[in-house]
Amino acid sequence: MEAAGPRSRDARGRAANQPGSRAEKSPPESRKVYMDYNATTPLEPEVIQAMTEAMQEAWGNPSSPYPAGSSRRHTQIRDVGDRGRKAKEIINAARENLAKMIGGRPQDMIFTSGGTESNNLVIHSVVKHFHKIHAAVGDTAERPSPVEGALPHIVTCTVEHDSIRLPLEHLVEEQVAEVTFVPVSKVNGQVEAEDILAAVRPTTCLVTIMLANNETGVIMPVPEISRRVRALNQQRAAGGLPGVLVHTDAAQALGKRRVDVRDLGVDFLTVVGHKFYGPRIGALYVRGLGELTPLYPMLFGGGQERNFRPGTENTPMIAGLGKAAELVAEKCEAYEAHMQAVRDYLEERLAAEFGERVHLNSQFPGTERLPNTCNFSIQGPRLQEEEVVASWSL
């Protein structure tokens, strides 16, 4: 809903934040307005600066600190080592900023290539952990097994992102896991906690529900689902069954509303940088990483990220992600207020221009939604694209 460009977020949206202004009523013919910020966002200038500085000043390998040395021939090695240590400092600072943004601990954050990898890593880990605790060998007292040879079962909903839906469908096709896709309610656009709990089986190892839908903007009841699952896990423990883990893909919610893993009560949370004015890199929060919550690597190599996600760290991208997270932590309320003002103005103008022909699809009574998302349909016989454009003089 904001004009794209190299300016800061506040500058880009200043005119849009003044509903009814002359600039909005008569936009220049050449002005292009980007309206798909749920797909991706431009980089904040501060993010670009952080990435540029990292490329220039911290190009050393953060995993290979060289000894400083004292002789002339060691000067170059010392310089490289300093840059490697600088890179490590940038990565540590970014990890702290990410943790602050979501109310977690830095040691529970793992950097990934993006949301798709983070989501796949969660699914991979819970399936592997299921097979580990239900191994066919060993002391049966230490491996509670609901059914001999049973497959791991995962519960999700029908409106998840493809990076959740497609991996799960693949596991079903390969007969590696069983999955229940719970539909969302037509009344409120949400998946109901009661329906999620009803889908849980003795073999269920994961419930994964997105925090906010990318098309409707509807906020899912993740805190309620987590509370219900925790209560269920107490009953399962008494019956000798392992607990069910909870994951949320928070890609669309971050940067648009406050997100706190303590309030959500989740075990895993996916972070996607390019949804909140950061670079195309991601992260994964794991509650009590490796201690309370299992995580199994999909890659093997140099041991980076404590062996959970090996591969030489991409320092500039991590620096950009850290800066974007820092900005969200500092200014989230201001961002949210601005987005909501623009969205509400858009919906008011749509109603004024098209009357009963426009239907706002995500305005469910009593249901929270993202402040930046407007999902609407314009109805009418033989409605032409030109007619819509001509009427829409926003």
pLDDT tens-digit map of 128-141: 999 999 874 444 44
Q: Report whether 204 contacts 156 (CB < 8 A).
A: no
Contact of 286 with 110, CB cutoff 8 Å: yes
- The whole-number pLDDT of residue 63 equals 85
168-226: per-residue pLDDT in tens?
A: 999 999 999 999 999 999 999 999 999 999 999 999 999 999 999 999 999 999 999 99
Interhelix angle 162-173/115-133, nearest 10 degrees = 40
The pLDDT score that the predictor gives to residue 177 is 98
Residue 84, pLDDT score: 85
Residue 3 has pLDDT above 80, yes or no: no
Whole-number Å distance between alpha carbons of 62 and 337: 39
Calculate ∠ Cα 251-253-256, nearest 5°.
125
For residues 84 and 314, give the distance between their C-alpha atoms in angstroms, rounded to a whole number: 12
Give, for 196, the enclosing helix (H) or strand (E). Answer: helix 193-199
With b for 16 or more beta-carbon neighbours within 10 A and e for fewer, the 381-391 pattern comes to: eeeeeeeeeee
Q: How confident is the model at residue 2 (pLDDT cuts 50, 70, 90)?
A: very low
The pLDDT of residue 65 is 58
Lowest mean pLDDT among 17-26, 128-137, 188-197, 286-295: 17-26
Residues 6+ apart with CB under 8 A from 239: none
- Cβ proximity of 80 and 353 under 8 Å: no
Write the DSSP symbol of residue 219.
B
Say if residue 144's pLDDT is above 90: no
The pLDDT-based confidence of 64 (bands split at 50, 70, 90) is confident
Are the C-beta atoms of residues 375 and 363 closer than 8 Å to each other? no
Mean pLDDT of the chain: 88
Mean local confidence (pLDDT), 229-236: 98
What integer pLDDT is reported at residue 66 of this predicted model?
A: 57
The pLDDT value given to residue 269:
99
Residue 7 has pLDDT above 60, yes or no: no
What percentage of the chain reaches a pLDDT higher than 90?
77
pLDDT tens digits, one per residue of 338-385: 999 999 999 999 999 999 999 999 999 999 999 999 999 998 766 666
Angstrom distance (rounded) from CA 94 to CA 100 = 10
- In whole angstroms, give the CA distance from residue 224 to residue 211: 12
Span of 105-114, 140-149, 236-245, 326-335 with lowest mean pLDDT: 140-149
Nearest partner of 369 among 228, 215, 160, 195, judged by Cα: 215
Full set of structural domains in the chain with CATH? 103-325 (3.40.640.10)
Quote the Cα angle for 11-14-376, to 5°.
115
Q: Give start and end residues of each alpha helix (H) in 103-218.
A: 115-133, 162-173, 193-199
Give pLDDT tens digits for 255-275: 999 999 999 999 999 999 999
Please, which residues bridge with residue 3 across strands?
33
d(CA 373, CA 271): 19
User: Which sign, positive or negative, has the C-alpha torsion 298, 304, 308, 313?
Assistant: negative
**Range name among 7-21, 160-174, 177-191 with the lowest pLDDT average:** 7-21
Instruction: Annotate 102-125 with DSSP letters as a single string.
Output: HT--GGGEEEES-HHHHHHHHHHH
CA 19 to chain centre: 30
| Torsions phi, psi for 205 (to 5 deg) | -120, -15
pLDDT at 117 over 60: yes
User: How many of the other CB atoms lie within 10 Å of CB of 351?
Assistant: 14
Bridge partner residues of 248 (DSSP): 269
382 phi-psi bin (left φ>0, alpha ψ -120 to 50, beta other): left
| pLDDT mean over 43-65 | 93
| pLDDT at position 72 | 44
CB 244 within 8 A of CB 206: yes
Q: Which helix (H) or strand (E) holds 97?
A: helix 75-102
pLDDT-based confidence at residue 394 (cuts at 50, 70, 90): very low
Share of residues in the chain with pLDDT > 70 (%): 81
